[in-house]
Amino acid sequence: MEIQQVLHMNSGDGKTSYAINSQLQRTVAAMVKPILEESMEELYLTLFPECLKMADLGCSAGPNTLLVVSKVMDIIGTKSQKLNRPPPSLQAFLNDLPGNDFNTIFKSLPSFYKKLENEKGSSFGHCFITAVPGSFYGRLFPNNSLHFVHSSYALMWLSEAPKQLVSKEAMNKGNICIAKTSPPPVFNAYLEQFERDFKMFLKCRAEELVPGGRMVLTTMGSIKSDDPLCIWEVVGLNLNDMVLEGLIEAEKLDTFNLPYYAPTTEEVKKVIEIEGSFTLLKLEVFKMDWDSYIKKANSGLDKQERATMIATDIRAVGEPILASQFGEENMDSLFQRFKDVVLDHMEAEKCEYVNLVISLAERG
């Protein structure tokens, strides 16, 4: 299985597509907005670029894809007006893996440009948008070509699952990610993979950013590395049930490991310090109940309806990679079971997402 071809969201605009099941990501983006504003204003006041060049890494395809571009235009445009300076133009590079639904993004651009023209007029600079397929765990842009890098809900996805997990002593049997039943070698393997990947990510971005360039990164995280809080563990439990019922081969489950790691703040700090190219300006943690973003937008829904929406949201994110391993024919059953177990968990305990927001400046 080639990870770069299957690690993407559900495409199109169907009922299980990411395009109509991405309210969680939109809610998180709204919560991060104050840090984004602070970073962009400081960047603008330091560099005053005539054309601000930014990249959104792991952009996916849906209603949130152009959200950060619009926000950056608002922040910089408003700041330039207050300073009585001409607004800079914006060149935005949208990056994701080649399997991403870039066609949906391209089709949305004419209406996006029209909306910018109607809402902002000549008081804001021109906006130019380009797609850049490829892995952000390698180089994507020339040296010193970017002022700002943004990434939201992408860095928890690793370049690959740890290779050593297929060996007997480290096999994560019956799980698809770090879980409460995972032996210590599994924890170590995932942590080492995260450290390698995040270090490479920082190294590449340091080469691509101008001196003093900024990054704002948001990722799912953990409070303690030995006490994971991962909704994907629930998916693994459902897959185990399907193995017991003979619907899925045990070997398929035992040899599959999701390339996913939710780091702690200390693990993030350690890699930033070791890599050495960036100054850590802020590292904040905020928690959200699994269903809080749904209750905020749809206050009248009961717990069962909220569990159904959570299941559809997770399906929109994980179905392509799961279907490539366990078969498309098993996805309806898997996520029906997942919905039921999510409901049980929410009734029995407090279930939360942990989010890390990281603000960085390139040291130059």
User: pLDDT tens digits, residue range 338-364?
Assistant: 888 888 877 666 678 899 999 999 997
Domains of the chain: 3-362 (3.40.50.150)
User: Hey, which of 47-56, 140-149, 220-229 has the most confident mean pLDDT?
Assistant: 140-149
Which residues make Cβ contacts (< 8 Å) with residue 40, sequence separation at least 6?
72, 75, 76, 79, 148, 214
Q: How confident is the model at residue 142, as a pLDDT?
A: 98
Q: How confident is the model at residue 122, as a pLDDT?
A: 66
Condensed to tens digits (0 to 9), the pLDDT of residues 305-315 reads 888 888 888 88
Q: How confident is the model at residue 16, as a pLDDT?
A: 75
Alpha-carbon span 186 to 278, nearest angstrom: 29
Q: How confident is the model at residue 182, as a pLDDT?
A: 85
Alpha-carbon span 227 to 180, nearest angstrom: 7
Alpha-carbon span 216 to 153, nearest angstrom: 11
3-state secondary structure of 30: helix
Of 17-21, 54-58, 255-259, which range is least confident? 17-21
Task: Give helix 231-244 / helix 303-326 axis angle, nearest 10°.
Answer: 70
Q: What is the mean pLDDT of residues 272-293?
A: 90
Q: How confident is the model at residue 310, as a pLDDT?
A: 85
